[in-house]
Amino acid sequence: MSSLKIVSFILLMVLLAIGFNLARHKPLWTDEIYSQTVSVEKFSYPDILLGKVKEGNTCPLFYLIQKMICDMTQYRVPSTGLEPWDQHAQILLRVNPVFFMSLAIAVIFYCIARFYSSLAGVFASFVALSSPMVWLYWAESRPYAMWVLLGTLQLLFFLSIIRKEELNIRTWNWLAVIHGLLSLTVITSVGQIMAVSFLLWILKSRDWKKYLGLTILPLLICFYYYGRSSLSPLWVPNNFMKLIYPSISVEQRGLFAVYTTFLLVQYFQSRGNAHVLTIGKEERRSWALIALMLAVAFSYIIFYKLREIPGHAGHELPVRQFIFLTPVGIIATVLFSLDLMRAVKNQMWIRINVALALGGLMIIHFLRNCFGIIGIY
């Protein structure tokens, strides 16, 4: 086993310890109790698989895993009902999210360290641990942690595909598996699947057969479960940007703006054939993916706005519906930071200043977004 794999494994163990500690101190809340009491306990495996659970999201993967964990440990909700402060349930019901969120961070570390450098891997883990959404949903027995892990893997496999000139069928197939799992996790993964598939169609392959498993089947699965879902009415808040901000902070948006400026500068330079800045090809493609993912988020907002019942009936559209932007924000921050550093590698003074600015920005990012919530429970 390589030293990188060993370090990643140790990191995973540490993250699991942090996650279970969070779970121990965080009371179960209404949605978790409802999902366990109704969707997991009262429905059989075939019913869950057929999307018969009475939830907004009827995709079965999360409920199936929860049911399996409960059956294996012979756990049943007490006859008196599930209390928020039930230490046994707080841990057991969160094995699933704690494991998947921890794995997501460890995978980010491993892949970035492997693609770039160990230091980049450490930086990526720091950026991931600076995301408030990671901390908020690390120990919540709902499908969000799985969504973050699968979203992370989707982006990393996409990066892996576009890094190479020739198409690697094995990676492609893995991405198809991830898309399949995404479609079995949340119905709103439809936008992510379409965004990645669209870019791959543009950049890699236009062989429609390749998209049967990668796109068509996952989309059909999503639409099937969408048809079975009992979506309660949701209304979009007037300041709809607050749905996106927790996943992509102001510091990250600042970085994206700087990077976009660099891209424009490079574009105009290339027209004059004077290459001072060199932005990598794959980072340009990543930039396109991130822009597309943001477009997906805005499409959702428009979708919910169109479905809105006048008079704010139902619930406010929750921030967690946009958690798929969290891995997008993390990976984009890492890639753009690394690329900015690489773009100025021959100019020592600028390099020092860019490193200083990026380091400072990330510390501020951590203090603003995470310091206040770490250890909250």
Partner 1 sequence: MGVAKTAVTMSLFMFLFFSIRQEYADAKLRKLNNFAPRPYDYLIGLMEGQVTFNRARIEEYEHYYKMLIAYIPQRADAYGMMGFCAYHLGKIQEAIFYYQEAVRLNPHFFWFHYSLGVSYFNSGMYDKAGESFVNARSVDPSITYKFLFSSKVYQPILADLSDPASLPVNFKNGLKNCYLLEAAMQQKTKEETFLPKDKFYPRIF
Alpha carbons 68 and 47: distance in angstroms, whole number: 14
Which two structure tokens, joined as six digits, stand for 152? 């992370």
What minimum distance in Å lies between the beta carbon of 368 and partner 1? 6
Q: Which stretch binds partner 1 (CB under 8 A): 68-76, 188-196, 287-295, 364-372?
A: 364-372
Is residue 349 a contact residue for partner 1 (CB under 8 A)? yes
Is residue 347 a contact residue for partner 1 (CB under 8 A)? no
Alpha carbons 294 and 271: distance in angstroms, whole number: 28
Alpha carbons 108 and 15: distance in angstroms, whole number: 13
Q: Which stretch binds partner 1 (CB under 8 A): 74-82, 321-329, 334-342, 346-354?
A: 346-354
Is residue 364 a contact residue for partner 1 (CB under 8 A)? yes
109-128 burial by CB neighbour count: b if 16+ within 10 A, else e? bbbbbbbbeeebbebbbbbb
Is residue 368 a contact residue for partner 1 (CB under 8 A)? yes
Is residue 375 a contact residue for partner 1 (CB under 8 A)? yes
Among 2, 80, 85, 271, binds partner 1 (CB under 8 A): 85
Is residue 81 a contact residue for partner 1 (CB under 8 A)? no
Alpha carbons 80 and 89: distance in angstroms, whole number: 14
Alpha carbons 210 and 168: distance in angstroms, whole number: 12
CB closer to partner 1 out of 122 and 355: 355
What minimum distance in Å lies between the beta carbon of 326 and partner 1? 19
Whole-number Cα distances in Å, 254 to 249, 331, 337:
9, 15, 12
Is residue 250 a contact residue for partner 1 (CB under 8 A)? no
Is residue 345 a contact residue for partner 1 (CB under 8 A)? no
Alpha carbons 8 and 103: distance in angstroms, whole number: 9
What minimum distance in Å lies between the beta carbon of 94 and partner 1? 15
Q: Return residues touching partner 1 (CB under 8 A).
A: 24-25, 85, 87, 348-349, 352-353, 356-357, 359-360, 363-364, 367-368, 371-377
